[in-house]
Amino acid sequence: MTYQSAFNYASSDSAQFWLEQAQKIKWFKSPQKSVTQNSDGLYQWFEDGELNTSYLALDHQIEMGRGSQTALIYDSPVTNSKQMFTYEELLLQVSLFAGSLKEMGVNRGDRVLIYMPMIPQAVISMLACARIGAVHSVVFGGFAANELAVRIDDAQPKVVVTASCGIEIDKVLPYKPIVDNALELADHNIEHCVIYQRKESNSKLLAPRDLDWDELIVKASPVAAVTLRSNEPLYILYTSGTTGKPKGVVRDNGGHAVAMRYSMEAVYGVEAGDVFWAASDVGWVVGHSYIVYAPLLSGCTTVLYEGKPVRTPDSGAFWRVCEEHRVNVLFSAPTAFRAIRKEDPTAQLFKQYDLSCLKRLYLAGERLDPSTYNWLRDSTGLPVIDHWWQTETGWAIAGIPYGIEKMNAKEGSAGVVIPGYQVEVLDAKGEQTERGESGNVAIKLPMPPGCLSNIWGSTDRLKSGYLSVYDGYYVTGDGGYIDRDGYLYIMGRTDDVINVAGHRLSTGEMEEVIAGHSAIAECAVVGVKCSLKGQVPLALVVAKNGEGLLENVGNEIKLMIRSQIGAIASLRDVLLVERLPKTRSGKILRKVMRQMVDGDELQVPSTIDDKSILDELALLFKHRLA
């Protein structure tokens, strides 16, 4: 089947298309219904089907003869340790911890909040919750106590699972004091807190609330997977909200399992037995989808990496992991590869490893600028595939569907729309734009399986935030366009489009131009207030490793912008910075920088990686932009 025939089939008869995909997973009761609407008018998938996600990820794989195959590889350069679990070994650990949760009174539908570093116990906790029908809510390890308390009050978990510490390169970060503080701040009272004691830090337990992980496992009895309805929730994952209050994205069991299995085959082109590494964190959606669920549901070996792309110990860290564990597909964020490029611009470390096992590189989480794309492709000689999705969708909206057809990628494009989605670019009136014309990227309803089924505790928030702008569409909040060949270009959040003298300009387009300069490693463009033009663009740039920024480089960048975009895009200034403010997942905080320059009240997200950079930028802006 070609890409176009698959896309046409999924668009013209989505109900039948997805029922066929649903047959590729093992149901306890196979669904006869495809997509329906509930009493709130929300779409749901396979409502009459029954299954269990933990069973699919573990028991069923053993039934298929994969019991002795490695399921999970834990690689931790920060602790100098490695551990491997076969499917049989992982099933035993999951079944025992599931039994412990049952002993604590956790039942079907109860919530369990998981606040863990990148250790096997995080994966075991997630799968154990799925096994007994509990709803897990993983919070990125290292969140401040107040942010953790907000999520505890929203999800109202019965149990919190945590570890004594996390490790950031060479720094031990105690988790238990953060959890204790969060539980004091929260209005909701939990019944138990389970702590996995790491040798790098031992936490004092507060009886009778706190329980030791290892002691629970010793006393536990394994439990079987329970039967769940397809539309029962699997997990809640919080993502940033425009109001400052995080939104709890809810994922169901049935649609999620079908989408994960389909995406591994269609988008990533992997098969059972392949080694798949998503270099992310279990606290983010990539970690949920492609460290834990999708690889195991597909019979693959998945890598859990506790380290960084650089400094653990060097910028060859990713390549070492790929060689040692014979990784077939690597998936990470452009930020990671920009960090590698900054430290190793000629890719000398890449050449030191035997990477004949590595077939493809996938990037997502932010725009893949052409400069990074070309460097990565030329340095590795591998297919470099950008793809675009969101926490809310859980899997790729656009990309190169390698398992369907090996199509060519285009620089700066997120690829073509994946079969199952119907993406349209709409103007302010909700009318479809012409090919090549920018607008608001929206997805026609119903969304495919695996996308959010609701916002936890707030259907109204789902409708007002995503479904009310254009009737019959989910609004992604991203701007972009589709070219004549059907390739989608995502140019950034809609509030990253600036208005210069009545002309709407994409900061993403300007960043593409700037990133093409040989002296620049990374950049960000923000629109700042101008009494004459409304807004003007300002560029902040990070020079490549060991390079200063000569005065003429700023002028060269300004000329590049004028010549490639137009005089209307004339930059106010080009400022050299040592680093850009980012979230922990690597997204550049353009809105915060814009607020700083304009003198507006700062709305700094809790996910910021390092607040000290804001002081550095404030001083720079004061001296250069006064």
> How many Å apart are CA 520 and CA 553, to the nearest integer?
9
Same domain, 518 and 425: no
- Please determine, for residue 605, whether its predicted confidence score (pLDDT) is greater than 80: yes
Q: Is the dihedral of CA 492, 261, 254, 245 positive or negative?
A: negative
The predicted pLDDT at position 504 comes to 62
Q: What is the structure's pLDDT at 70? A: 98
Residue pointed to by tokens 């902040």: 540
Paired tokens of 169:
């390169």
Contact present, 141 and 117 (Cβ < 8 Å): yes
Question: 146: part of which helix (H) or strand (E)?
Answer: helix 145-155
Which helix (H) or strand (E) element contains residue 434?
Answer: none
Domain limit, last residue, from 480, 511, 531:
480
pLDDT at 548 over 70: no
E strand or H helix at 327, and its extent? none
Same domain, 287 and 181: yes
Whether residue 358 is contained in a domain is answered as: no
| Paired tokens of 361 | 């590189």
Which one is predicted more confidently, 562 or 493? 562
Count the residues in the chain: 626
Q: Which of 445, 480, 515 is the last residue of a domain?
A: 480
Which pLDDT score, from 0 to 100, does residue 506 have?
77
Task: Give the mean pLDDT of 561-588.
Answer: 86
We report the CATH number of the domain holding residue 401 as 3.40.50.12780
413 and 525, same domain (yes or no): no
Q: Is residue 327 part of a domain?
A: no
User: Residue 519 burial by CB count (10 A; 0-12/13-18/19+): exposed, middle or buried?
Assistant: middle
Using an 8 Å Cβ cutoff, are 138 and 114 in contact?
Answer: yes
**Among 414, 447, 480, residue at a domain's last position:** 480
Here the tokens at position 60 are 């069923």
Range of the domain at 521: 501-624
The answer on 124 and 88 residing in a single domain is: yes
Per-residue model confidence (pLDDT) at position 495: 65
Q: CA-to-CA distance for 583 and 578, rounded, in angstroms?
A: 16
Q: How many CB atoms are closer than 10 A to CB 215?
A: 13
**CATH code of 599's domain:** 3.30.300.30
Dump pLDDT digits (tens) for 274-293.
999 999 999 999 999 999 99
**pLDDT of res. 549:** 61
Position 342 in a domain? no
| Mean per-residue pLDDT, 296-317 | 97
- Do 553 and 476 share a structural domain? no
Residues 528, 449, single domain; the answer is: no
**Structure token digits, residue 198:** 């790491």
Judge if 447 and 540 occupy the same domain.
no
What tens digit of pLDDT does each residue of 98-140 get? 999 999 999 999 999 999 999 999 999 999 999 999 999 999 8
pLDDT for 48-87, tens place per residue? 999 999 999 999 999 999 999 999 999 999 999 999 999 9
The answer on pLDDT for 25 being more than 90 is yes
Query: Which amino acid type is present at position 560?
Result: M
Mean pLDDT on 91-95: 98
Asked if residue 339 belongs to a domain, the reply is no
Same domain, yes or no: 61 and 123: yes
In this structure, the answer to whether residues 248 and 299 fall within a common structural domain is yes
Q: What is the mean pLDDT of the chain?
A: 93
For residues 67 and 114, state if they share a domain: yes
pLDDT surpassing 60 at residue 211: yes
**458 and 539, same structural domain?**
no
Q: Lowest mean pLDDT of 203-207, 291-295, 357-361, 553-557, name the range.
A: 553-557
Residue in 60, 61, 86 with CA at minimum distance from that of residue 73 = 86
Q: Is 475 part of any domain?
A: yes
**479-494, pLDDT tens digit by residue?**
999 999 999 999 877 7
Do residue 66 and residue 214 come from a single domain? yes
Q: Is residue 354 part of a domain?
A: no
DSSP string spanning 248-278?
EEEEESHHHHHHHHHHHHHTS---TT-EEEE
- For the purposes of burial, counting CB atoms within 10 Å of the CB of 314, is it exposed (0-12), middle (13-18) or buried (19 or more)? middle
**Could you say which DSSP state residue 395 is in?**
S
Domain total in the chain? 2
Determine the average pLDDT of the residues in 363-386.
92
Say whether the peptide bond before residue 334 is cis (omega within 30 degrees of 0).
no
**Greater confidence, 450 or 604?**
450
Confidence band (pLDDT; 50, 70, 90) for 375?
very high
464 assigned to some structural domain: yes
Residue 180 lies in a domain: yes
Least confident of 60-74, 163-177, 544-558: 544-558
